[in-house]
């Protein structure tokens, strides 16, 4: 009898837990994305937050539209930066000084994961859209010239 009551108790706990509000999925349709104009080193670019809050602790996902000939100077992040190229091509390089001869082309569909603190730079030779995700807060620190 004791085992049956324990089993019933466990089922009640599980069913009560299932009745608690379930997380709601985030669904973002392309025509509903809210784009914001970039400033500073991202002047001319646009970005959109798709999920989370990149300024706070926790997961986030953002999209970045880079116009043709846009460049992102050498910088690093406080956490791993994960980038997927959605359209166009992103050119990336590692180091403290941007050097186009050392950049690698990442065509649409490519993915790169850049660990915390690794100095890198990027450019788009054509209109390019990338998706960036990671754990916030998202920080960008310029590498001193």
Domain membership of residue 2 (yes or no) is no
For residues 52 and 1, give the distance between their C-alpha atoms in angstroms, rounded to a whole number.
Answer: 48
Return per-residue pLDDT of the chain as tens, 145 residues. 555 545 454 444 445 455 567 888 999 999 999 999 988 778 889 999 999 999 999 999 999 999 999 999 999 999 999 999 999 999 999 999 999 999 999 999 999 999 999 999 999 999 999 999 999 999 999 998 6
Asked if the structure places residue 18 within a domain, the reply is no
- Residue 140 CB partners (closer than 8 Å, separation 6+): 75, 76, 77
Predicted local distance difference test score (pLDDT) of residue 36: 94
Any domain includes 98 = yes
Q: Does residue 6 lie in a domain region?
A: no
Q: Residue 87: inside a domain, yes or no?
A: yes
Per-residue pLDDT of 19-37, as tens digits, reads 567 888 999 999 999 999 9
CATH number at residue 52: 2.60.120.10
Residue 80 placed within a domain: yes
Which residue segment(s) compose the domain that 136 sits in?
28-142
Describe the strand order of the beta sheet including 104-107 as a list of residue ranges: 104-107, 89-94, 120-124, 70-76, 141-142
Supply the pTM of this predicted model.
Answer: 0.82
The number of folded domains in the chain is 1
Q: Does a structural domain hold residue 4? A: no
Residues constituting the chain: 145
* Domain assignment of residue 51, yes or no: yes
CA distances from 102 to 37, 38, 63, 122 (A): 29, 26, 25, 11
| Dihedral angle, C-alpha 11, 17, 20, 21, nearest 10 ° | -110
Which pLDDT does position 3 carry in this prediction?
55
């Amino acid at each position: 009898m004791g085992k049956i009551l324990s089993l019933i108790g466990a089922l009640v706990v599980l069913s009560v837990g299932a009745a608690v509000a379930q997380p709601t999925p985030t669904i973002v349709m392309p025509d509903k994305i809210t784009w914001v104009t970039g400033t500073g080193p991202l002047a001319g670019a646009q970005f959109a937050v798709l999920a989370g809050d990149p300024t706070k602790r926790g997961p986030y996902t953002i999209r970045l539209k880079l116009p043709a000939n846009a460049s992102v100077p050498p910088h690093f992040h406080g956490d791993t930066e994960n980038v997927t190229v959605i359209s166009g091509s992103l050119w990336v390089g590692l180091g403290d000084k941007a050097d186009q001869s050392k950049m690698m082309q990442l065509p649409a569909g490519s993915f790169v994961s850049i660990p915390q603190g690794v100095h890198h730079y990027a450019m788009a030779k054509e209109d390019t859209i990338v998706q960036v995700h990671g754990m916030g807060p998202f920080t960008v620190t310029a590498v001193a010239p």
